[in-house]
Chains A and B, each alone.
Chain A
Amino acid sequence: MAINWFKYSSPASFYSLAGKMIPIFVFLAVVLTIAGLYVGFFVAPTDFQQGEAYRIIFIHVPAAWMSMFLYVIMAVWAGIGLAFNTRLSSMMATAIAPTGAMFTFLALWTGALWGKPMWGTWWVWDARLTSELILLFLYIGFMSLQAAIDDPRRADKAGAIIALVGVVNIPIIYFSVQWWNTLHQGASVSLNQAPAMATTMLTGMMIMVFASWMYSIVVILKRVRVIILERESHTAWVAELRKKEAAR
């Protein structure tokens, strides 16, 4: 079966495709969250060093990973929009930013609440924490710059520049625990080493990572649909859609 993928680069067809996809991802997000929290709280054992405090990991790590993944995806969409002048790609970038910022905030917040009992401090200016804070500022900078420019197409281009320049921060965050002496521990999961934790802990964490992915897809699709309607309000297809909705 041949699928014409370019069809979905048009906001009109993507709008309806996204509408059909949302319920599937809502279902997956709910099921995975319940499963992940169950494993995290009832199956995974107490940590021999950190007691029950380590259970913050089930949101801390997914939030921190998502904050970085979403930034890269945002920059890729923004870059495609800048290079090929495709409206939908830039709208995707705009839709991703608030969710990315939310996960960055949560990574910092849960990190502070984990740091206090384990390190004795809410915050230190170590490389990992500082670069993650810079990531939050990059997201906020991207959103405020776009909000400050009235013409959406110019806002897309200006935002894309910030997004692309800021990508350099992502490897800095990731490798900060290796490059500098940080209070933050090293990677708990890596490709070339056995994970430094019990299997059930890792399972719970990975399920929560997938749940965060599904949640992100849901809210980003919902937001991009609103952005499409806002920006395409002058077009014939939106007028048609409004008429259809009014008739219902």
Chain B
Amino acid sequence: MNWESWSEFFAMGGYGVYVWGSYFVTLICIVGEVLLISKRRRTLDKHYGLIHDSNTKEEIKNETTS
């Protein structure tokens, strides 16, 4: 085992800022990328949901008027 305590683990032998700065930004990038892709997918689904709804509404309207 390399570490005697949590504080020693976070200190990284005095290089904590550099080591955790690297890992933290990597985590942000990964979470960000995954969120952006899901958002793109949801926007697309919503867009089609709206088109789908307006089409069916239109159809109903057309049926009632004709």
Contact = CB atoms under 8 A, between A and B. Distances in A.
Interface in A20-59: 41-42, 44-46, 51-53, 55-56, 59
Contact of B19 (A46, A56, A109): A56
Q: Is the interface of A mostly helix, strand, loop or mixed?
A: helix
A110 interface: yes
Nearest to A50: B15
Interface stretch (A77-85, A113-121, A124-132, A172-180): A113-121
A55 B30 contact: no
Contacts of B9: 41
Given A219-B34, A219-B37, A222-B37, A59 B12 contact: no
Interface residues of B, number: 28
A149 B12 CA distance: 48
B23 interface: yes
Residues of A in contact with B, size category: 35 or more
Contacts of B23: 59
A98 interface: yes
Contacts, number: 78
Q: Pick the most buried of B9, B23, B44, B49: most chain A CB atoms within 10 A of its CB.
A: B23
Nearest to B19: A55
Contacts of A99: 33
A114 B52 contact: no
B55 to A, nearest CB: 11
A242 B13 CA distance: 55
A229 interface: yes
Contact of B29 (A51, A105, A242): A105
Nearest to A63: B26
A243 B1 CA distance: 56
Interface string B28-55: 0110011001101100100011001000
B44 A230 contact: yes
